[in-house]
Amino acid sequence: MIENIQPPTDNLYKFLAIGGLVFALVALVVLLREQAAQRERWTDAQVELLAAGYKDGSGEPTDPDLRRAYFRREFAMGQASEVMKLAGGVVGKTFGVCLIASFAGFGLWWWKVQRHDDAILRATAAKLLREERAKSAT
């Protein structure tokens, strides 16, 4: 009877699980790269301001070069909220959906395939053990 049990194909479940993880990682990398680029823009403008002797809290500078660096820094600070919107927007939702798909794929794979394979393996091992015991008893 145990030989007649054929587990269903698992290619779809593996694809769903691994594809979900890959897409989730891609979404995470996109988010982290955008965050790093934004942080680099802010740091560059901040270094330029500090090198020119600008003190925070002294208002907008009057020198054109300092003003350019000051507004680049302010723009970069504004971009931080855009990165957060990205995390809560398309990229964040893609990350969440892909993780859910991956968990569903792994769950379906275990439920529909792996537990049956485990049962077959246990039954085969028990059969071989019984045969070995019967052989050694005679």
Mean pLDDT calculated for residue range 22-44: 87
Is residue 70 over pLDDT 80? yes
Is residue 118 over pLDDT 80? yes
Tell how far CA 114 is from the center of its chain. 24
Is residue 3 over pLDDT 80? no
Q: How many residues does the chain have?
A: 138
- At 46-65, the pLDDT tens digits run 888 888 878 777 778 788 87
- At 79-105, the pLDDT tens digits run 877 777 777 788 888 888 888 988 888
Mean pLDDT calculated for residue range 22-51: 86
Q: 127 is written with which tokens?
A: 């059969």
* pLDDT at residue number 68: 82
Judged by phi (left if over 0) then psi (alpha if -120 to 50, else beta), residue 59 lies in left
Mean pLDDT calculated for residue range 116-126: 91
Is residue 7 over pLDDT 60? no
What is the number of other CB atoms lying within 10 angstroms of the CB of residue 24?
A: 19
Rounded CA separation 117/64 (Å): 72
